[in-house]
Amino acid sequence: MAHRDFCKMISRSKPGPGDGGKTGSWRVLRPILHTEKCIPVKAGKKACFNCWLYCPDCVVTKTIPPTIDLEYCKGCGICAEECPADAIDMVAEDTFSTEEK
Amino acid sequence: MHIIESGNVAAATGVKLSRAQVIAAYPITPQTPLTEKLSEFVESQELDAQYIPVESEHSAMAVCIAASTAGARAFTATSANGLLYMNEQLHWAVGARLPVVMCVANRGIGAPWTVWNDQQDSMSQRDVGWIQLYANDHQQIIDSVIKAFRLAQSVSIPVMVCYDGYLLSHTYMPFELPGQEQVDAFLPSFTPEHFLNPDEPGNFNTVTLPDTRAGVDGTVEPGYIEIRHNLHEDLRGALEVYGDIDAEYEKGCGRGGTPFIEQYRCDDAECVAVAIGSLSYQLRDVIDILREEGLRVGVMSVQMYRPFPDGAIVEALAGRKSVIVFEKALSYGNQGPLYADIKAALYSRGDRPPIQNYILGLGGREIKTSQLLDALKESCSAIEAFDDTPRWIGLKL
Amino acid sequence: MAEKTTIVNLTEEEFVHPGNRACSGCGLSIVYRMGLKALGKNTILVVPPSCLTVLQGLYPVASTRLPCVNVTFASTGAAASGVRGAMKALNKNDVNVVAWAGDGGTGDIGIQALSGACERGEEIIYICYDNEAYMNTGVQRSGTTPQGVLTTTTPIHGKLQTKKDVPAIIAAHGIDYVATASAAYPVDFYDKVKKATTITGPKYIHVLTPCPPGWGFETRYTIKVGKLAVETGLFDLYEIDKGEFRLTGASKKLLGKERKPVSEYFKTQGRFKSLNGDIVDTVQRQVDAKWQAYALESA
Same domain, B142 and B36: yes
Same domain, B26 and B172: yes
| Confidence at residue A99, expressed as pLDDT on a 0 to 100 scale | 61
Q: With respect to residue B33, please indicate whether it lies within any of the assigned structural domains.
A: yes
Contact B1, B51 (CB under 8 A): no
Q: With respect to residue B46, please indicate whether it lies within any of the assigned structural domains.
A: yes
Q: With respect to residue B231, please indicate whether it lies within any of the assigned structural domains.
A: no
Task: Please say which residue of B186, B203, B237 terminates a domain.
Answer: B186
Phi, psi for residue C65 in degrees, rounded to 5:
-100, 25
Q: With respect to residue B41, please indicate whether it lies within any of the assigned structural domains.
A: yes
SS3 content of chain A, % helix, strand, coil (to 5): 20, 15, 60
Q: Which amino acid is present at C102?
A: G
Task: Please say which residue of B131, B154, B186 terminates a domain.
Answer: B186
Residues contacting residue B195 through CB under 8 Å, at least 6 positions apart: B69, B70, B71
- Nearest Cβ partner of A6 from B156, B205, B217? B156
Peptide bond preceding B111: is omega within 30 degrees of 0, i.e. cis?
A: yes
| Confidence at residue A100, expressed as pLDDT on a 0 to 100 scale | 62
Q: Which amino acid is present at B392?
A: W
CA B204 to chain A, closest CA, distance in angstroms equals 4
- Which residues partner with B327 through β-bridges? B359
Nearest residue to B268 via CA among B233, B307, B312, B320: B320
| Confidence at residue B191, expressed as pLDDT on a 0 to 100 scale | 86
Q: With respect to residue B18, please indicate whether it lies within any of the assigned structural domains.
A: yes
Same domain, B171 and B25: yes
- Nearest Cβ partner of C69 from B56, B69, B209? B69
Q: pLDDT tens across C158-193, in order?
A: 999 999 999 999 999 999 999 999 999 999 999 999
**Domain span at residue B319?**
261-392
- ipTM of the prediction: 0.95
CB A56 to CB C29 under 8 A?
yes
| Confidence at residue C1, expressed as pLDDT on a 0 to 100 scale | 52
Q: Report the CATH number that the domain containing residue B46 is assigned in CATH.
A: 3.40.50.970
For chain A, residues with pLDDT lower than 50 are: 1-2
- pTM of full prediction above 0.90: yes
Quote the CA–CA distance of B22 and B73 in Å, as a whole number.
6
Q: With respect to residue B297, please indicate whether it lies within any of the assigned structural domains.
A: yes
| Confidence at residue A4, expressed as pLDDT on a 0 to 100 scale | 77
| Confidence at residue B190, expressed as pLDDT on a 0 to 100 scale | 81
Same domain, B140 and B286: no
| B interface test, pick of A3, A10, A14 with most B CB neighbours within 10 Å | A10
| Chains contacting chain B through 3 or more C-beta pairs under 8 A | A, C
Residuewise pLDDT in 10s, chain C (299 residues): 568 899 999 999 999 999 999 999 999 999 999 999 999 999 999 999 999 999 999 999 999 999 999 999 999 999 999 999 999 999 999 999 999 999 999 999 999 999 999 999 999 999 999 999 999 999 999 999 999 999 999 999 999 999 999 999 999 999 999 999 999 999 999 999 999 999 999 999 999 999 999 999 999 999 999 999 999 999 999 999 999 999 999 999 999 999 999 999 999 999 999 999 999 999 999 999 999 999 998 88
Name the closest residue on chain A to residue B95, using Cα atoms. Answer: A10
| Confidence at residue B396, expressed as pLDDT on a 0 to 100 scale | 96
| Confidence at residue A101, expressed as pLDDT on a 0 to 100 scale | 58
Contact B393, B360 (CB under 8 A): yes
For chain B, residues with pLDDT lower than 50 are: none
| Confidence at residue B325, expressed as pLDDT on a 0 to 100 scale | 98
Q: Is B129 left (phi over 0), alpha (psi -120 to 50) or beta?
A: left
Task: Please say which residue of B135, B151, B186 terminates a domain.
Answer: B186
Using a CB-CB cut-off of 8 Å, the residues of chain A touching B205 are 10-12
| Confidence at residue C57, expressed as pLDDT on a 0 to 100 scale | 95
Quote the CA–CA distance of B31 and B83 in Å, as a whole number.
11
Quote the CA–CA distance of C34 and B156 in Å, as a whole number.
36
CB A10 to CB B204 under 8 A?
yes
How high does pLDDT run on average in chain C? 97
Q: pLDDT tens across C266-291, in order?
A: 999 999 999 999 999 999 999 999 99
A30 near C CB under 8 A: no
Same domain, B159 and B297: no
| Confidence at residue B311, expressed as pLDDT on a 0 to 100 scale | 97
Domain count, chain B: 2
Same domain, B303 and B180: no
Q: B residues 46-75 near C, CB within 8 Å?
A: 49-50, 52-56, 58-60, 62-72, 74
The architecture of the domain spanning C27-298 is 3-Layer(aba) Sandwich (3.40)
Same domain, B26 and B157: yes
| Confidence at residue B51, expressed as pLDDT on a 0 to 100 scale | 98
Q: Report the CATH number that the domain containing residue B376 is assigned in CATH.
A: 3.40.50.920
| Confidence at residue C3, expressed as pLDDT on a 0 to 100 scale | 82
